[in-house]
Amino acid sequence: MTGSFSLSAAENPTVAVMEAGYGASNLDVRYINCEVAPEKLAGAVSGAIAMGWLGFNCSLPHKEAILEYLDDLAPSARLIGAVNTVVIKDGRLIGENTDGKGFVEALKTIENPQGSRTVIFGAGGAARAIAIELALAGAQKITIVNRSPERGKKLAQHVDSQTEADCSFADWTAGYSIPEDSSLVVNATSLGFYPNHEQTLDVDFSSFTPGSIVADVVANPPKTRWLQAAETAGCVSLTGIGMLVNQARVNAQLWTGETLDAEVMHRALNKALGLA
Ligand code: NDP
């Protein structure tokens, strides 16, 4: 058994993606969404161990609270300082963070991030995971742009000091102009997420460099206003769907050792989001 611990849990589309992937690979494994309040996290963890679960995902509000129950942390989870996936092996709990790994796997279907010059908007959990994984995958330069400067500066300093990448912070001035040499630009804020899908980033869209890759972490809707503007400017777009599907595949690999069918999982996610 596998699943997700979060509050609330009902809207999480990962259950459809995982179940479709397991089913297509004929694995005798299930995935369930569990609503777990903060004060019940210890009990939920004990329950998963007692019932022989392979592991579980942690979503809001447990991504940092789970740390105190773990026996060990994978290197990138340690750098990110948050865990979204727990692997249970021989009664030991290992914390992983697969948000950024899912992003990098999706990106690699278009281009290897090695040597990339990246701008990341946002400094929350998703931005942090993506910045660390891009740095570990060999990104050359990373610029963090965030509404709250303190949070943005803190992330930039952390990535710069803990990885080989050259990472700095830039103020998010009105009509922000993307540096011309950027090969990858990522919206890692929650701007554009349904039902606020009319919102988008305060960026000068004429500063997009044609041919560069523009990505969004927002999976619903997949084609955000941000990505529409990027495509109009001649950029290659990468939706949040790829990140979500690849993250689920990395999780399944960690839990079962099997590589699940991306196509089947993609279709299941589209259906769960009402897009198919
Ligand atoms: P956090 O709450 O940790 O961070 C939110 C970020 O968005 C912060 O940088 C915040 O800036 C910024 N932000 C929010 N509102 C605004 C605004 N009005 N203007 C400018 N900036 C704003 O959230 P997460 O990082 O966990 O999640 C961010 C998004 O990523 C969500 O939409 C989530 O669904 C998505 N996501 C997608 C995944 C996938 O697999 N596709 C996986 C994980 C997350 P500030 O610091 O100033 O508050």
pLDDT score, position 54: 98
CA nearest ligand 1 atom 1, residue: 124
What share of the chain in percent tops pLDDT 90? 93
What would be the CATH architecture of the domain defined by 101-238? 3-Layer(aba) Sandwich (3.40)
Q: Determine the pLDDT at residue 94.
A: 98
178 Cβ contact list (under 8 Å, min separation 6): 119, 185, 203, 204, 207, 208, 209
pLDDT of residue 255: 98
Query: What's the number of CA atoms in the CB half-sphere (13 Å) around residue 108?
Result: 13
| Pocket perturbation via mutation, ligand 1, pick of 58, 147, 191, 201 by most ligand atoms within 8 A of CB | 147
DSSP 8-32: S-TT-THHHHHHHHHHHTT-S--EE
Question: What lines the ligand 1 site, CB under 6 Å?
Answer: 99, 102, 122-127, 146-148, 151, 189-191, 193, 217-219, 240, 243-244, 247
Instruction: Ligand 1 pocket test: pick from 153, 190, 199, 217 the residue with the most ligand atoms within 8 Å of its Cβ.
Output: 190
Exposure b/e, 183-205, CB count within 10 A at least 16 = b = bbbbbbbebbbeeeeebbbebeb
Ligand 1 centre distance from Cα of residue 157 (Å): 19
Write the pLDDT tens digit of every residue in 165-181: 999 999 999 999 999 99
Place of tokens 């500063």: 207
Q: Whose CA is nearest to atom 40 of ligand 1?
A: 244
* Per-domain boundaries in the chain: 2-97+242-272, 101-238
Residue ID of nearest Cα to ligand 1 atom 16: 191
Looking at the predicted structure, is the pLDDT value of residue 276 above 80?
Answer: no
- Cα(187)–Cα(38) distance, integer angstroms: 29
Give the pLDDT score at 58. 94
**CATH number for the domain whose boundaries are 2-97+242-272:** 3.40.50.10860
Q: Do domains 2-97+242-272 and 101-238 have the same CATH topology?
A: yes
Dist. CA 22–CA 30, nearest whole Å? 7
Distances (CA, A) of 154 to 114, 122, 168, 169: 24, 12, 10, 9
Taking the C-alpha atoms of residue 207 and residue 233, their distance in angstroms, rounded to an integer, is 9
The position carrying tokens 């990104």 is: 139
For 69-114, write each residue's pLDDT tens digit. 999 999 999 999 999 999 999 999 999 999 999 999 999 999 999 9
- State the pLDDT at residue 274: 87
Catalytic positions, please?
A: 63
> What confidence tier does 158 reach under pLDDT thresholds 50, 70, 90?
very high
What is the average pLDDT across 242-267?
A: 96
pLDDT digits (tens, 9 = 90+) for 124-138: 999 999 999 999 999
What does the pLDDT read at residue 194?
A: 86
